[in-house]
Structure 1
């Protein structure tokens, strides 16, 4: 659990500043669960440059509560939380100083989004909140006011959580939470989970990831694990200490994240994705008459396939569909074995490539159209799908035919600048499993997805 905060002060000498405004949002890594926003009477003069910067003046604070009146609320909303702020050393120092004046010790773990940004989003021109937000397309309202800056910090922190492929932020949060709050009661764990699409991580008591999965309904899938009677379910039930999750909105993003995370973390109870995800692939070759033939074969060749399939039945269904869609020859696609004309020619639905009546130029153009439709070789493209929230979309990035990674963006801002887009995505390997996941998903959902060439 995190407490994301921003503090505005009077300015002045070091450790003599007073708080004029504070905003704290209790954040569980996915959504805000509580908030506290208040002007505060600092009982001291506000520096003129601060008044010009924030717009907060002494008249506005005459009837505002003094710090001792809100101290209890600050303790409550930050309890069992990691404090997160942009330049957290400043905000944490100011809070500790105010509590020391009351004779009360205030101690919390902290995270600084400036330091995290430098590590996870390198080479930015500036790491000030305003300039960084502008570069990343984060909308900021009420700049230099506590609530506005804290909300911008939340949006930035969400990006950083997504960029943290090693899951160090989340793992550290789990380690410092009180063990009593990580109830091993399976019902309690289930109740905390969403009925949404995403990836989930199951941990043991040593905070080790023992299983990673994806689902269109995380709560339903975890419930199945915790009520199942098979060997894997019983092991999970015996070992589980906590469950975390990442909402993705998009099933494509969930599939890619699941594959990537399993390969990286190698959980002891994951076996399925240690093997290849596909068994068959579509290849092309040119016959001695000059016609480009298509053939489904086992996915064990070195050459690059046009697309891949989970099994032979899926490949067979695909071939029958594209023969109709692109007016191809059954013989030259391998679905009708004959030395003469194919069945479609006999019923006047094939132009005769099977017996060299259709020109190689005309027929090969149709094969080329199919390949371009189902392959992203040499393409620069964005595959846009559902996001985690209504106002955002997920984006899978293909550059020069290579899968670069994925991210979540407000499309009105962040994909206009290619360099910013590539700096924000979570990088992933361009391996065969990821290629298969993307090709298969796009093939099944092409009408619904938005494809942007750049």
Structure 2
């Protein structure tokens, strides 16, 4: 659990500042579950430059509660939480100083979104909250007011959690949970998980380490299966499970790609390396001596495939449908081995490429339409799919035929502005597995929105 904090102060000498406003959003990694926002009477004057910056003046604070009157609420809402703030050293120091004046030792673990942003979003011109939010397309209202800045920090932190493919943030959070909270029954773990949620789940041991990563369209049901299965592997997982965390993706494509990447990076104890034969066959093309483009279904052994399949049979089924859809020749698609005409020619469904009646130029136009539809080689495009909540969409970014990364966005300018797009996406490796996943998903999901760049 995280307490995302922003504090406005009077300014002045080091350790003599007073709090003028505080906002705390209790965040469970997915949504805000509690909040506390209040002006605070600092019992000292505010520096003029601070008044100009925040708009908070002495008159506004005359009837505001003093710090000792809100201290108990601050302790309660941040209990068992990691304090998250943009420049956490400052906010945490101010809190500790105020509690010290009351004779109370306030101690919490902290996370700084400035430091995390430098690690996970390198290359930014500035890491100030305002400039970083602009470059990431994060809308900020009431800048330099505690609530507005804290809400922007929540959105930034949510993005950082998504970009943290090694899951350092989550693993660290599990380690600092009180023991009473990380030793629940398996039933209680299941009860706390969401129903009908598409995403990635992470099974942790009591040290916070990830021992299994999976993806599901219904995380609760899938974890329930893990915990009720009697296979030797499931029993070992059940014995070592201390907590389950998850990340909503909205899109199954995002879940598939993140699962593939994160298994490789984290190497969980109970995940076998992604099976190389998960996509066993692929569709290739070559030009014969007569100038006709031929299609060939073969074992998936190189990266120049048009599209890929989990079995040879599913590849053949696709090829039969594609031959019909694009009016191709059965002989040149490898479906009808013959030295003369194909069967479709005899029933007038083939234009005669098999016996050179149709010109290579005319025939190849239709083959190239198929290749263009099912291959993203050399293309610059965005694959737009469902987001994690209403109003949000997910995006997979393909640049020059290479899978660059993925992310989520709320506003169109976040993806039409290439600089913002490249900042919000989580960079990922372009490998054979990711290519297979994208090609397979494109083929099976005909209603996906594709934006050409």
TM-score when scaled to structure 2?
A: 0.97
CA shift for structure 1 position 22: 0.6
Match of 1:88 in 2: 88
Query: Per the alignment, in what secondary structure is the counterpart of residue 407 of structure 1?
Result: strand
What do the CA deviations read for 1:321-378 (whole angstroms, capped 9, x no partner)? 1112211111211122333222222222211111211111100111111111111111
1:46-445 correspondence runs (5 A): 46-195=46-195, 196-271=197-272, 273-300=274-301, 302=302, 304-445=304-445
- In the comparison of the two structures, how many residue pairs are matched? 452
Question: Do the aligned residues in 1 keep the contact of 2:41 with 2:65 (CA within 8 Å)?
Answer: yes
Q: Distance in 1 between matches of 2:244 and 2:189?
A: 7
Looking at structure 2, the residues matched to 58 and 440 of structure 1 have their Cα atoms a distance apart, in angstroms, of 62
State the partner residue of 2:38.
38
Distance (whole Å) between structure 2 residues aligned to residue 171 and residue 136 of structure 1: 25
8 Å Cα contact 1:11/1:46 also seen in 2: yes
Task: Determine the structure 2 residue equivalent to 1:453.
Answer: 452
RMSD across aligned positions (CA): 1.4
In 2: Cα distance, 1:375 partner to 1:176 partner = 46
Aligned-pair distance for 1:268? 2.3
Equivalent-residue separation in structure 2 for 1:379 and 1:411 (angstroms) = 23
1:105-158, CA deviations, whole angstroms, 9 ceiling, x for partnerless residues?
101111111111112112211111111111111000111111100000011111
Deviations 1:275-297 (A, max 9, x none): 34210010112223221110101
Distance 1:145 1:363 in 2: 65
Residue 179 of structure 1 aligns to a residue whose secondary structure is coil
Q: Which moved more, 1:282-291 or 1:72-81?
A: 282-291
8 Å CA contact 2:286–2:293 kept in 1: the answer is: yes
Equivalent position SS for 2:415: coil
Q: 1:303 to 1:254 in 2, by over 3 A?
A: closer
* Cα shift at 1:86: 0.7
- Structure 1, unmatched stretches of 5+, are none
Contact kept, 8 Å, 2:253 with 2:438, in 1: the verdict is yes
In 1, Cα distance between the equivalents of 2:364 and 2:429?
33
Structure 1 SS opposite 2:429: coil
Contact 1:277–1:436 (CA under 8 A) maintained in structure 2: no
| Cα shift at 1:303 | 5.9
Kindly state the Cα deviation for residue 2 of structure 1 after the two structures are TM-superposed: 0.7
C-alpha distance after superposition, 1:188-216 (max 9, x if no partner) = 11112112000111112233221111000
Secondary structure at the aligned position of 1:415 is classed as: helix
- C-alpha displacement at 1:266, in angstroms? 2.0
Give deviations 1:163-183, integer Å, cap 9, x for gaps. Answer: 212211111111111122112
3-state SS in 2 of match to 1:403:
strand
- Deviation for aligned residue 1:272: 6.6
Rounded Cα–Cα distance in structure 2 between residues aligned with 1:374 and 1:191: 41
Aligned equivalents of 1:204 and 1:46: distance in 2? 49
> Which ranges in structure 2 are unaligned for 5 or more consecutive residues?
none
CA contact (8 A) 1:228 1:234 kept: yes
Distance in 2, Cα, partners of 1:208 & 1:200: 13
